[in-house]
């Protein structure tokens, strides 16, 4: 009964989101001439550059994941990059980003801890959110197209995210050490079978994953990789949008990048269909681009991101099957 109610609630919410989206764009729905732009030959360089940047970013994300995980267990980097590529498809097309659980499942299959992998996943998400908030604050400062209320909101989000990130970086290792001492005392008293011991061990492993933020070398590597990831992706978005809107500001591509990715954090709809387009239209509106033109560009953007992710993910799945047969 509870499952039926939750499914019904989700369906209604999905329908409301999509209905609201189409009501928003129907006032300025693209004409046939506008749709033709997406197929013109001059868009090809932008499409190609964006595709390569997506593949490059997918590989870097896999490397970052490996770097954060290696503190708790020794993994093969190439295999983890392949696993990440396959799991990214599952997370992209599953509602509420539930596909992220497949990464945790794979770590358990490789002999690691699911709790530690969950902690690393939390650290990874927090780092991505922090960098996105920094970028959002940069564009509100550099661009005159945003109101003071948006600037205040972005600054507040950045401050809260920075405080959480700093707190976890500073206190995750001491908390992990304190829990470890308690676990050692439980082992000494032969109390390993108790439920409290099992819970504490899982919490310890979770904080061990989060504590990767507290190790300055891992933290620095992860921050540098995250900056390269979002920098490369923003360049891909910029060259793509340039093919539609020559002379568009770089801050516009950053705005689209930030809003579509923030809308994807929860992934309300499978593939984030509708919500992604809405976020892109809202991001381009302050730069004087009509909803119709923005809709065409963002639909093309979403299609390329989805197609490249799908091809890369299926390639990773085939490589993964090959590796599974050999070992």
Each residue of 303-324: pLDDT tens digit?
Answer: 899 899 999 999 998 988 887 6
Mean pLDDT value across the chain: 77
Instruction: Lowest mean pLDDT of 25-34, 104-113, 227-236, 300-309, name the range.
Output: 25-34
> 178-182: long-range contacts at Cβ-Cβ below 8 A with a sequence spacing of 24 or more?
179/203, 179/204, 179/207, 180/204
Q: Is residue 10 part of a domain?
A: no
| 220 in any annotated domain | yes
| Residue 18 placed within a domain | no
Confidence class for position 279, pLDDT limits 50, 70, 90 = confident
Inside any domain, residue 178: yes
Is residue 108 included in any domain, yes or no?
yes
Which pLDDT score is estimated for 326?
59
Q: pTM score, two decimals?
A: 0.80
pLDDT of residue 182: 60
More confident residue, 11 or 264: 264
Euclidean distance between the first and the last CA atom of the chain, given in angstroms as a whole number: 43
Q: What is the maximum alpha-carbon separation in the chain?
A: 77
CA–CA gap between residue 306 and residue 298 (Å, rounded): 12
In a domain, 319, yes or no: yes
The region of weakest confidence among 30-39, 74-83, 201-210, 215-224 is 30-39
Give the pLDDT confidence score for residue 52 in this predicted structure. Answer: 95
* The two structure tokens encoding residue 9: 């609630």
As a whole number of angstroms, the distance between CA 82 and CA 312 comes to 9
Q: How far apart are CA 64 and CA 43, in angstroms?
A: 32
Domain range holding 108? 48-326
pLDDT in tens, 132-184: 888 888 888 777 666 556 667 677 777 777 777 777 767 766 766 666 666 55
How far is it, in rounded angstroms, from Cα 144 to Cα 288? 12
Which residues 6+ apart lie within 8 Å of 75 measured at CB?
Answer: 66, 69, 110, 112
Q: Does the residue 2 lie in any domain?
A: no
Q: Work out the percent of the chain whose per-residue pLDDT is above 70.
A: 68
**pLDDT > 90: percent of the chain:** 14
What's the domain count of the chain?
1
- Average pLDDT rounded to a whole number, residues 212-236: 85
Residue 20 lies in a domain: no
The secondary element (H helix, E strand) that includes residue 216 is helix 216-244
3-state secondary structure of 101: helix
């Amino acid at each position: 009964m509870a499952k039926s109610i939750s499914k019904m609630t989700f369906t209604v919410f999905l329908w409301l989101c999509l209905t609201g989206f189409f009501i928003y764009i129907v006032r300025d729905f693209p004409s046939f001439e506008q749709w033709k732009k997406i197929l013109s030959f001059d868009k090809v360089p932008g499409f190609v550059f964006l595709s390569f940047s997506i593949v490059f970013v997918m590989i870097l994300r896999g490397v970052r994941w490996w770097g954060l995980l290696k503190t708790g267990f020794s993994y093969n980097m190439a295999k983890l990059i392949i696993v990440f590529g396959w799991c990214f498809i599952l997370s992209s097309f599953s509602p509420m980003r539930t596909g992220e659980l497949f990464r945790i499942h794979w770590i358990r299959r490789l002999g690691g801890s699911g709790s530690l992998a969950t902690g690393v996943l939390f650290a990874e998400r927090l780092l991505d959110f922090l960098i996105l908030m920094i970028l959002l604050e940069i564009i509100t400062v550099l661009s005159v197209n945003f109101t003071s209320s948006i600037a205040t909101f972005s600054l507040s989000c950045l401050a809260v995210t920075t405080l959480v990130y700093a707190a976890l970086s500073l206190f995750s290792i001491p908390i992990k050490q304190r829990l470890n001492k308690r676990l050692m005392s439980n082992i000494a008293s032969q109390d390993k079978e108790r439920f409290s011991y099992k819970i504490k061990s899982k919490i310890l492993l979770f904080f061990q994953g989060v504590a990767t933020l507290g190790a300055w070398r891992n933290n620095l590597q992860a921050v540098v990789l995250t900056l390269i990831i979002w920098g490369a992706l923003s360049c891909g978005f910029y060259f793509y949008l340039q093919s539609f809107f020559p002379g568009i500001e770089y801050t516009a591509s950053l705005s689209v990048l930030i809003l579509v990715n923030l809308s994807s954090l929860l992934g309300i709809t499978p593939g984030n269909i509708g919500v992604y387009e809405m976020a892109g239209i809202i991001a381009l509106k302050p730069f004087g681009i009509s909803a119709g033109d923005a809709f065409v560009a963002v639909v093309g953007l979403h299609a390329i991101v989805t197609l490249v992710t799908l091809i890369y993910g299926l390639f990773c799945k085939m490589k993964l099957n090959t590796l599974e047969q050999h070992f």
